[in-house]
């Protein structure tokens, strides 16, 4: 009887002693996926491109659109005579240039040209810290040009380099820290803008005119400084402006509409107190544009929040008025650098209801927070206006 009592007491004690099943139960209950729903596409500061389309359809002019999204600014017209240097291949080791009537120069293009046969291809390779050019043509011996730190190419018609067709200006290939920076220099006012692909050329004329003025303003604000790392004023990517060269203006039918909008707005820019503004634009918002200080920490009197209802219009913005993304457990935990993610929470929001930061908690209770910009990039969602379901 005593032995039976001892066994019973031992069983009861074992039931009372907590065992480490909570962690395993929690792990079993980890969400397999996280559903994020939201609106908008882009950072949300400045000109809403879908908003520009909506206002244009309501009969507003390009000036109306720009002064609405950049309150307190003016549209100024003045001659724009400077050139702009655009990087089209960053830290490259090899480039080939094809086209008609190619002219190769050693240095900045002010010396006598090196003879290039019609139909030949120019090839440039990094050899050590210098650029080594060759001239090749089918059925003819390769011509090797002595290497140097800088070469310039000019042409008639169009050329193809770094995957881009170019019609205007000249191309420079410069050795920078054992890599090759390939840039194209052209007139800012028109030639550069002809190749900017930031808005559909099929949209209303006032909308694409507002984009042309905004893009010219961006170029003006960046044309005074050459960045050493790229030998350029701007890159050809969306981190500056998406420059695609001749393919923009040569689009069937609608390319001519974009070129006409650029020509019609020649010399026009957005100014504040007489100087070109820090212009920003994006696709669409969550119904209100963002204040610059909420996104990048710097406040500007013209980069404030304004209503943007057009972005929530399913007709104007079918892909991003409302969107949903499903992120699996593996990708979400990798985004935060955690072994797993048990819960996900929005920490704070701006006045426009966009997210500021997100915190993940693992099954063991470890927390990790990410600013929304990094979170968006890691989980590949298009905007900061979202809910976590």
Backbone angles phi, psi at 246, to 5 degrees: -65, -20
> pLDDT digits over 188-228, tens only?
999 999 999 999 999 999 999 999 999 999 999 999 999 99
Of 2-16, 103-117, 252-266, 284-298, give the lowest mean pLDDT range: 2-16
Cβ proximity of 134 and 114 under 8 Å: no
3-state SS of the chain: helix, strand, coil percent to 5? 25, 35, 40
**pLDDT value, residue 52:** 98
The Cα 326–Cα 36 span in angstroms is 6
> Residue 77 corresponds to which tokens in the numbers above?
């017209």
> Residue 90 corresponds to which tokens in the numbers above?
């960053």
Q: What value does the mean pLDDT of the chain take?
A: 93
> pLDDT digits over 50-65, tens only?
999 999 999 999 999 9
CA dihedral of 341, 346, 348, 349, whole degrees rounded to 10: 140
Q: Apex CA 306: angle with CA 302 and CA 310, to 5°?
A: 130
262: nearest Cα among 318, 314, 353, 198: 198
**pLDDT value, residue 28:** 57
Q: In what order do the strands lie in the sheet with 385-388?
A: 323-328, 33-39, 385-388
Helix axes 62-69, 49-57, angle to 10 degrees: 140
209: nearest Cα among 170, 259, 262, 158: 262
DSSP 262: H
**pLDDT value, residue 29:** 82
> pLDDT digits over 262-287, tens only?
999 999 999 999 999 999 999 999 99
**pLDDT value, residue 4:** 35
DSSP 366: -
Across the range 87-109, mean pLDDT stands at 96
């Amino acid at each position: 009887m005593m032995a039976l009592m001892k066994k019973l007491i031992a069983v009861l004690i074992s039931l009372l002693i907590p065992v480490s099943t909570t962690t395993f139960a929690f792990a079993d209950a980890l969400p397999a996926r996280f559903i994020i729903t939201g609106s908008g596409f882009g950072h949300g500061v400045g000109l809403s491109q879908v908003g520009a389309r909506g206002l244009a359809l309501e009969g507003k002019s390009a000036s109306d659109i720009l002064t609405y999204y950049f309150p307190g600014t003016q549209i100024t017209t003045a001659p724009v005579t400077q050139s702009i240097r655009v990087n089209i291949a960053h830290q490259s080791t090899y480039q080939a240039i094809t086209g008609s009537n190619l002219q190769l120069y050693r240095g900045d293009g002010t010396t006598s040209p090196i003879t290039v046969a019609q139909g030949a291809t120019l090839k440039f390779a990094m050899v050590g810290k210098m650029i080594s050019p060759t001239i090749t043509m089918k059925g003819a011996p390769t011509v090797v040009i002595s290497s140097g730190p800088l070469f310039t190419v000019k042409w008639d018609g169009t050329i193809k380099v770094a995957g881009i067709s170019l019609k205007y200006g000249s191309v420079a290939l410069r050795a920078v820290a054992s890599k090759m920076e390939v840039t194209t220099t052209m007139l800012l006012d028109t030639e550069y803008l002809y190749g900017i692909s930031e808005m559909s050329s099929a949209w209303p004329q006032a909308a694409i005119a507002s984009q042309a003025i905004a893009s010219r303003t961006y170029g003006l604000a960046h044309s005074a400084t050459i960045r050493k790392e790229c030998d350029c004023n701007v890159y050809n990517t969306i981190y500056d402006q998406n420059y695609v060269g001749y393919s923009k203006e040569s689009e069937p039918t609608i390319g001519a509409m974009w070129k006409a909008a650029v020509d019609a707005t020649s010399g026009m820019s957005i100014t504040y107190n007489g100087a070109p503004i820090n212009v920003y634009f994006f696709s669409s918002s969550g119904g209100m544009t963002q204040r610059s200080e909420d996104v990048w920490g710097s406040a500007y009197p013209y980069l404030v929040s304004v209503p943007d209802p057009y972005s929530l219009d399913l007709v104007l913005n079918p892909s991003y008025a409302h969107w949903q993304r499903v992120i699996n457990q593996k990708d979400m935990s990798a985004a935060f650098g955690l072994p797993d993610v048990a819960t996900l929470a929005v920490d704070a929001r701006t006045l426009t209801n966009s997210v500021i930061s997100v915190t993940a908690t693992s099954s063991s209770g470890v927390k990790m927070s990410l600013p929304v910009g990094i979170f968006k990039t890691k989980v590949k969602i298009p905007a900061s206006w979202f809910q976590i379901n």
